[in-house]
Amino acid sequence: MAKTKGARARKTAAAAPRKRAGARLPKAVTASVQAALDKKAEDVVVLDLRKAGGFTDYFVICTGGNARQINAIADSVRETLTRDLGERPALAEGIKRSEWILLDYFNFVVHVFSRDCRAFYGLERLWGNAERHEISPEA
């Protein structure tokens, strides 16, 4: 018996990453995502930690291809949020090493990783119970 198109669509939707339909992210989170994408950040993901018992509401996680790009992404996020929203990070870590830059804005934290560092620490795995929002470069 042939599967119907509707059955295939339901099966595909069930296998997709957890993402609330029509989810709205806070303006600062959206601005940080766009700033990272403007600098060609890869594999951009937003984790909603509000129901996961996190110490912050959101993680914005992305990857840069090299140390220069990692710094450029972090600088773009900082400059955009300061200029457009008047928000400055309470804490910025890892800027000198450029393998993992963390920008803490209290309600959300931006993580800019090298590929190896992101794979090693696996924040998406550690916070696997958080709602996950995959961000496409067209966003």
Distance CA 37, CA 47 (A): 16
Whole-model pTM over 0.75: yes
Bridging pattern class, strands 42-48 and 58-63 = antiparallel
Walking along the chain (139 residues) 10 residues at a time, the average pLDDT comes out as: 42 39 80 97 94 88 96 97 96 91 96 96 89 80
Within a domain: residue 32? yes
Within a domain: residue 119? yes
SS3 60: strand
Within a domain: residue 16? no
Give the domain extent around 73: 27-134
Specify the pLDDT at position 43.
96
Tell me the CATH number at 51: 3.30.460.10
Question: DSSP string of 42-62?
Answer: EEEEEEE-TTTT-SSSEEEEE
Cβ 47 vs Cβ 132: under 8 Å: yes
Within a domain: residue 2? no
Within a domain: residue 105? yes
